[in-house]
Amino acid sequence: SGYNVGLYVSKHTKIDLLTTPITAVFGKGFVARDMAFVNTAGPEKHEAVALMSTADQSVFHRCRFDGFQDTLYAHSNRQFYRECDIIGTVDFMFGNSAVVFQNCNILPRQPMANQQNTITAQGKVDPNQNTGISIQNCTISPYGNLSSSLKTYLGRPWKNYSTTVFMHSQIGSLVHPTGWLPWTGNTAPSTIFYSEYKNVGPGSSMKDRVKWKGLRNISDKEAKKFTVKEFINGGKWISDAGVSYKSGL
């Protein structure tokens, strides 16, 4: 019956992780449905995780992740999010899992005065890792009172092999024409793998995107590598959770 079925609230920041509790899940096959995970620390606390998941084959269906910086920490292993709302400001979808987001609402909100929004910060450190963020059939639109002059980016490379793909998604005009932001300096490592595949909407134009070696044009065959079937081998375990999903493109 919606997000009020379960509400998990944290006031802690990421800096507190070693000494204070946050909402975190670890067990294989974890499933959450119709739940809200909220961090109420506010933007002035900087890194403030609403949920951290290390659970392999974890499924989140019709859930809400509400915070500011670092809202959703998809830490590791295989994860799947369907019809969820993810709200935040800086690096608010981050981690080094193999994760697919399908049919989700990605909702950048107003940050602090000296900040800009970055949706993703993927943390692959080794090219041999099968990890990355796949965003498929999602909608990126502003949340609340987000200023039209506030710069919002699809992501920035947290680590040297950062891997993120947006495909078949609706990208609103809030996304800056350059699309992506370096972690430091004026460019990104050539070893990253970023791609935008057949997206639509006023923010989806590739005309003025950054000219990075790591921002790649991919074929249908390459895009399939980031689907539920090929990227997270999710057919059986997502079906077992009773959640609908799209296997391929």
One of 34, 56, 70, 85 is an active-site residue; which one?
Answer: 70
Domain boundaries, the chain: 75-240
Identify whether 126 is a catalytic site residue.
no
Give pairs for 210-213: CB < 8 Å, separation 24+. Answer: 210/178, 210/179, 210/180, 212/180, 212/187, 212/188
pTM: 0.93
DSSP assignment, residue 77?
S
Q: Which pLDDT tens digit goes with each residue over 147-196?
A: 999 999 999 999 999 999 999 999 999 999 999 999 999 999 999 999 99
| pLDDT in the model for residue 8 | 54
Q: What is the CATH number of domain 75-240?
A: 2.160.20.10
* Averaged pLDDT, 125-136: 98
Cβ 90 vs Cβ 118: under 8 Å: yes
Q: Which pLDDT tens digit goes with each residue over 110-126?
A: 999 999 999 999 999 99
One of 34, 91, 208, 220 is an active-site residue; which one?
Answer: 91
